[in-house]
Amino acid sequence: MTRPLEGIKIIDFTHVQAGPACTQLLAWFGADVIKVERPGSGDVTRTQLRDIPNVDALYFTMLNSNKKSLTLDTKKPEGKEVLEKLIRESDVMVENFGPGALDRMGFPWEHIKELNPKMILASVKGFSDGHHYDDLKVYENVAQCAGGSASTTGFWDGPPTISAAALGDSNTGMHLAIGILTALIGRDKTGKGQKVAVSMQDSVLNLCRVKLRDQQRLDRLGYLEEYPQYPHGEFSDVVPRGGNAGGGGQPGWVLKCKGWETDPNAYIYFTIQGHAWAPICKAIGKPEWIDDPKYNTAQARQPHIFDIFATIETWLADKTKFEAVDILRKFDIPCAPVLTMKELANDPSLRESGTITEVQHKERGPYLTVGSPIKFSDMKPEITASPLLGEHTDEVLASLGYSSEQISKLHDAQAV
Ligand code: COA
In the predicted model, what is the mean pLDDT of the chain? 96
**pLDDT per position as a tens digit, 75-96:** 999 999 999 999 999 999 999 9
If you measure from the C-alpha of residue 78 to the centroid of ligand 1, how many angstroms do you get, rounded to a whole number? 20
Strand ranges, E, within 273-411: 335-337, 356-361, 365-370
* CA–CA separation, 66 and 255 (whole Å): 41
pLDDT at res. 273: 83
pLDDT beyond 90 at 414: no
Q: Is 133 in the pocket of ligand 1 (CB under 6 A)?
A: no
3 state SS of 357 = strand
Q: Which whole number is the average pLDDT over 334-340?
A: 96
Q: Where are the domains of the chain?
A: 9-206+346-413, 252-333
Homologous superfamily (CATH) of 9-206+346-413 is Crotonobetainyl-coa:carnitine coa-transferase; domain 1 (3.40.50.10540)
* CA–CA separation, 282 and 277 (whole Å): 9
Q: Which whole number is the average pLDDT over 344-362?
A: 98
Q: Is 97 in the pocket of ligand 1 (CB under 6 A)?
A: yes
Q: Is 73 in the pocket of ligand 1 (CB under 6 A)?
A: yes
Fold of 252-333: formyl-coa transferase, domain 3 (3.30.1540)
pLDDT at res. 250: 80
pLDDT at res. 119: 98
Q: Which whole number is the average pLDDT over 396-404?
A: 97
Q: Smallest Cα–Cα separation from 414: which of 75, 58, 30?
A: 75
**pLDDT interval class at 315 (50, 70, 90):** very high
If you measure from the C-alpha of residue 41 to the centroid of ligand 1, how many angstroms do you get, rounded to a whole number? 13
The model's pTM is 0.97
Residue 79 contacts by C-beta under 8 Å, 6 or more apart in sequence? Answer: 72, 73, 414
Q: Is 169 in the pocket of ligand 1 (CB under 6 A)?
A: yes
Q: Which whole number is the average pLDDT over 256-264?
A: 98
* CA–CA separation, 231 and 242 (whole Å): 13
Q: Which whole number is the average pLDDT over 191-196?
A: 98
pLDDT at res. 416: 81
**pLDDT interval class at 393 (50, 70, 90):** very high
* CA–CA separation, 262 and 265 (whole Å): 9
pLDDT beyond 80 at 247: no
The count of other CB atoms within 10 Å of the CB of residue 2 is: 9
Cβ atoms of 234 and 290 within 8 Å: the answer is no
If you measure from the C-alpha of residue 19 to the centroid of ligand 1, how many angstroms do you get, rounded to a whole number? 11
**pLDDT per position as a tens digit, 36-58:** 999 999 999 999 999 999 999 99
**pLDDT per position as a tens digit, 4-30:** 999 999 999 999 999 999 999 999 999
In the chain, what's the furthest Cα-to-Cα distance? 86
Q: Is 138 annotated as a binding residue?
A: yes
> b/e string for 13-36 if b means 16 or more Cβ within 10 A?
bbbbbbbbbbbbbbbbbbbbbbbb
Helices (H), ranges, 291-359: 298-301, 305-316, 321-328, 341-345, 348-353
First-residue to last-residue Cα distance in the chain: 42
pLDDT at res. 246: 83
DSSP 269: E
pLDDT beyond 90 at 371: yes
C-alpha neighbours within 13 Å on the C-beta side of residue 375 = 7
Pocket test for ligand 1, best of 14, 83, 95, 97 (most atoms within 8 A of CB): 97
**pLDDT per position as a tens digit, 271-304:** 998 888 999 999 999 999 999 999 999 889 989 9
Q: Smallest Cα–Cα separation from 107: which of 126, 125, 88, 91?
A: 88
* CA–CA separation, 112 and 87 (whole Å): 7
pLDDT at res. 415: 85
**pLDDT per position as a tens digit, 97-140:** 999 999 999 999 999 999 999 999 999 999 999 999 999 999 99
